[in-house]
Chains A and B, each alone.
Chain A
Amino acid sequence: MKKQQKTKPNFSKSHQLYVKRLKKDKFVINFFRVFVLVAFLGIWELLTYYKVLDPFFVSSPSRIFAQIGTMAQNGTLLTHSWVTLYETLIGFGIATAVGYVIAVLLWWNEKVRKVFEPYIVVLNSLPKIALGPVIILWVGAGTSAIVLMCVLICIVITIMSMLSAFLAVEEGKILLMKSMHASKLQILFKLVLPSSMPEFVSVLKINVGMSWVGSIMGEYLTSKAGRGYLIVYGGQIFKIDLVMASTMILCILAFGMYYFVSLLEKKYNPGAKS
């Protein structure tokens, strides 16, 4: 589509107007996006400045930024953020990869799938946090427990979503492959996996959110460092600025990760409305 536009520079008047309107709409939307954020922070700051709200309980933007500044100076900004980011990325990676492979195996063998289906459903409805103490017993307190928590939270939904995407491939397309004498492996690699790419990207998106839940929950359970640790710690010593600053950093990190995934979406699912 883009190519055509380049080779055809002379558009009609109405098209120019249309493009102009699109641009204007986009500007207005972006303006209000920033406006909402600024207004929110501004009102928050004012309310705490005039002591309508007690900054001891709700903190304030200026205190949060000051807190972030201190952390940046003494180096804890990066170290603690890195700990949590690391746990999240590892958990996210393992859960996505292993879950995907399990889904492929379940697609491959119908009987195995039927056997495991009820277990997966039960696992999915189980609140994974309930396994916390067991996890610590098994792998010990520390990073591996946190990563495992993260994996447990993401993996079941990965298996379920990918499996249903694999099974949703049109029967007729499978017949077409069969009529071309394709082996099951060829059907998998040339039809089933590529046609489930859009679902894979949406699984990635879901897992971004879930893996942060996993790592923060893990840190609540057992940790000596990380953003989740600081949030719990800050809460215990009533240092709400630390809690808020850490939450804000989490927001930024999670959004960054989500952004990378949505770049993939443009590549594999260009038809999707973002």
Chain B
Amino acid sequence: MKNLLTFKNVNYFYQTKNDEIFALNNVNFDVEENSFVSLVGPSGYGKTTILSLTAGLLTPSSGKITLDGEDKIDIKKIGYMFQKDFLFEWRTVWKNITLGLEIQKPKDKEEKLAMAEELLKKYDLYGFKDQKPRSLSGGMRQRVALIRTLTMEPKLLLLDEPFSALDYQTRLSVCDDVYEIIKSEQKTAILVTHDISEAISMSDKIIILTSRPATVRETLSLNLEGTSPLKKRETPTFASLFDHIWRQLSNEETAKNKT
């Protein structure tokens, strides 16, 4: 299958006044079209940096990023859901969701508005359509941010820990929903998460990062049976995969502590 995104020997340095932080060291990976890829690694390992590079918000210090066959990243092909919801307090929920449409004014705006309405209903937020974000809970805010991203119908979805503010039950079901939307809409997604089981249950591929300067430690291709993330959690290979990834990450931690 065709690769939608490739990172080739990507290095990235954060420049600050007093320091140069070597964040990514020779990162290589690719994301196939219509696949679901997870990036795992503890805090500060460069996951957000990888997403920002993908979205074209940062430019690699060296190396090459190719999106949809082009070296120049077309930001309109990307939907980026940030770690924080960044809802605008002075806009209603509906106005927040349609912000991207307001900015880009796509030709099929009407259809996208209809889709936004559908998604609102699906996530039990329709009643809050005309409310300000102030009156929403953390989980609701995150769902609004997710809908805001999905409404743009991007080719590639970047999800930076989208479920972190949800309680465990909601988290499982939102995972299921997002998975289903992405699969049924034939989208490609990169998910950043701390949660190993989330990564296993949702992904076709898992990329494990090393500590800073981050590089790809291991790429796991998964082929779990089961139609939904919840079902996948029950498969026998799930536990052994979990164990494997967990070991990888904890080796990384101990290696880091030694140096």
Contact = CB atoms under 8 A, between A and B. Distances in A.
Interface of A: 170, 172-173, 175-182, 186, 190-191, 194-195, 197, 271
B133 to A, nearest CB: 12
Contacts of B76: 181
A190 B100 CA distance: 11
Given A177-B103, A179-B57, 19 more contacts: A172-B84, A173-B86, A173-B88, A175-B57, A176-B80, A178-B75, A179-B55, A179-B78, A179-B80, A179-B82, A180-B100, A180-B103, A182-B103, A190-B102, A190-B103, A191-B88, A194-B90, A194-B91, A195-B90
A175 B99 CA distance: 14
Contacts of B57: 175, 178-179
Given A180-B100, A181-B104, A186-B103, A194 B82 contact: no
Interface string B78-107: 101010101011110000000110111000
Nearest to B102: A190
B152 interface: yes
Contact of B82 (A172, A182, A186, A271): A172
Contacts of B86: 170, 172-173, 176
A179 B51 CA distance: 11
17 contacts: A173-B86, A175-B57, A175-B82, A177-B103, A179-B55, A179-B80, A179-B82, A180-B103, A180-B104, A180-B152, A181-B75, A182-B103, A190-B103, A191-B88, A194-B88, A195-B88, A195-B90
B99 A180 contact: yes
Nearest to A4: B135
B57 to A, nearest CB: 6
Contacts of B212: none
A221 B75 CA distance: 59
B183 interface: no
A193 to B, nearest CB: 10
B134 interface: yes
The A interface, classified by DSSP as helix, strand, loop or mixed, is: helix
Nearest to B152: A180
Contacts of A180: 99-100, 103-104, 152
Interface of B: 52, 55, 57, 75-76, 78, 80, 82, 84, 86, 88-91, 99-100, 102-104, 134, 152
A271 B103 contact: no
A179 B88 contact: no
Contacts of A197: 90
A139 to B, nearest CB: 40
Contacts of B103: 177, 180-182, 186, 190
- Interface centre among B52, B84, B103, by most chain A C-beta atoms within 10 angstroms, is B103
Contacts of B82: 172, 175-176, 179
A212 B144 CA distance: 46
A187 B88 CA distance: 12
A260 to B, nearest CB: 21
Nearest to B83: A172
A180 B103 CA distance: 7
A179 B76 CA distance: 8
A180 B148 CA distance: 10
A137 to B, nearest CB: 46
B242 to A, nearest CB: 32
Contacts of A182: 103
Nearest to A181: B75
Contacts of B89: 195
B99 A190 contact: yes
A181 B75 CA distance: 6
A182 B90 CA distance: 18
Nearest to B104: A181
A178 B78 CA distance: 11
A178 to B, nearest CB: 6
Contacts of B134: 271
A171 to B, nearest CB: 10
A197 B57 CA distance: 27
Nearest to B76: A181
A248 to B, nearest CB: 39
B226 to A, nearest CB: 33
Contacts of A177: 103
The 8 closest A-B pairs by CB, nearest first: A179-B80, A180-B100, A182-B103, A176-B86, A181-B75, A173-B86, A194-B90, A180-B103
Contacts of A195: 88-90
A170 B88 CA distance: 11
Contacts of B100: 180
Contacts of A191: 88
A191 B75 CA distance: 19
Contacts of A271: 134
Contacts of B75: 178-179, 181
B67 to A, nearest CB: 14
